[in-house]
Amino acid sequence: MNKSTFFFSTGILALTICTPACNREKGPGRNANEETLVAEGFVVGRDHFENRLTVTANLLPAESVEIKTPVAGTVLAIHFNEGEFVREGEPLVQIDDRVWKAQIKGLKAQLLAAGEELQRKEALLKAEGASREEVETIQSTVQQLEARIEELSVYVTLASVPAPFSGRVGMRDFSIGAYLSQGQIITEIAQSDRLKVDFNLPGRYVSQLAPGKEVIVIANNDSLRAPVYAINPVVDQNARTIQIRALLTNKKNWLPGDFAEVSLILDIQDSAIVIPTELIVPELGAETVYLCKKGRVVKQRVNTSVRNSKVALVDAGLSAGDTVLTTGLMQVREGIPVKISQTSSLTKL
């Protein structure tokens, strides 16, 4: 190989080695081998923040009871339709009470006669024409007749079964003419225009509630407010939770047993540092984020007090105006150059 050929080959090799290095982005203070990370950023600001706790709840009728036959007998009439709304005091079922009424009629006649006999004996007693013992015997008979009439009158009253309160009745499994034993279920009735909201809270949150404080009840993609009216004074030893009940006016025609949730506002801050939860990189015993400062990546440790699946409340480590990297987190390293291509922020939580 002659000298001209050698110098020509060396020049090509030098040009080949130099070309990639010449295509990297350079800037003041950057090494020639450093590549700039292009990423999106989140600009930290101060926002309104509501710390909400959401738990599942049970919707229960305000009042609910199984209506049972108070006295045994044959059904003479049924005054309700299954599933309809009835008002307090309306008759539901009539049990055959004709025998008791007939007995009362006979006993009243006996009572009338016994009363007349008692008056006659008392008059004779004054004239010493009757003994005290005879008068007391008649008095005893009168009292027994009165007690028997009162007992049968109770049976007659119980034979007409009324609605104990206004509500919607359930189903029945008998017909007119059926014989119902004492205690047999007639139907159910539930007061659904008002609903009890039954839920449990961890014991540490109970101080946030008091009777009268409203919670938000969510069901069937809708919501209603309900004031708390009862707090169980005993903590469940297994779950470490406390049972709480609220009462709502059922304006949405929700049904007892519908799936529901209760949302409780624990704290409100009007000027809070809040960032998306996904921007926090968990490490052993620490929470960190990556910032863009003066064109380079800075690893920053933060402290959060409240976190959920969407946002985190930052108590320390960030200030308004900081830019947190939202993309490129898998490739990011502290100190490398970074260029922010697009920014976003939270305007309202």
Phi-psi domain of 240 (left: phi exceeds 0; alpha: psi -120 through 50; beta: other): left
Greater model confidence, 37 or 174: 174
List, for residues 46-100, the tens digit of each pLDDT value.
Answer: 887 877 888 999 999 999 999 999 999 999 999 999 999 999 999 999 999 999 9
pTM of this prediction exceeds 0.85: no
**Residue pair 244/213 in contact by the 8 Å Cβ criterion:** no
List, for residues 323-338, the tens digit of each pLDDT value.
Answer: 998 888 888 888 889 8
**Residue pair 255/190 in contact by the 8 Å Cβ criterion:** no
Q: How confident is the model at residue 117 (pLDDT cuts 50, 70, 90)?
A: confident
What integer is the mean pLDDT of 247-265? 92
Beta-strand ranges (E) seen in the chain are 37-43, 46-68, 73-78, 85-86, 91-95, 160-162, 167-169, 179-180, 185-202, 214-219, 222-231, 241-249, 259-276, 281-283, 286-293, 296-307, 311-316, 323-325, 338-344
Cβ neighbour number for residue 334 with a 10 Å cutoff = 12
DSSP 3-state of 85: strand
Q: Which of 188-197, 254-263, 306-315 has the least mean pLDDT?
A: 306-315
Cβ neighbour number for residue 184 with a 10 Å cutoff = 13
Q: How confident is the model at residue 12 (pLDDT cuts 50, 70, 90)?
A: very low
List, for residues 274-292, the tens digit of each pLDDT value.
Answer: 888 888 888 888 889 999 9
Query: In this structure, what are the phi and psi dihedrals at residue 135, rounded to the nearest 5 degrees?
Result: -65, -45
In this prediction, residue 31 carries a pLDDT of 55
What integer is the mean pLDDT of 152-171? 96
DSSP 3-state of 43: strand
In this prediction, residue 269 carries a pLDDT of 79
Best CA proximity match to 199, nearest among 53, 51, 101 = 53
Could you tell me which residues come within 8 angstroms of residue 196 by beta carbon, excluding any fewer than 6 positions away? 59, 60, 61, 62, 245, 246, 247
For residue 161, what are the β-bridge partners?
Answer: 93
Domains and CATH numbers, the chain: 25-49+270-344 (2.40.420.20), 53-62+191-269 (2.40.30.170), 71-183 (no CATH)
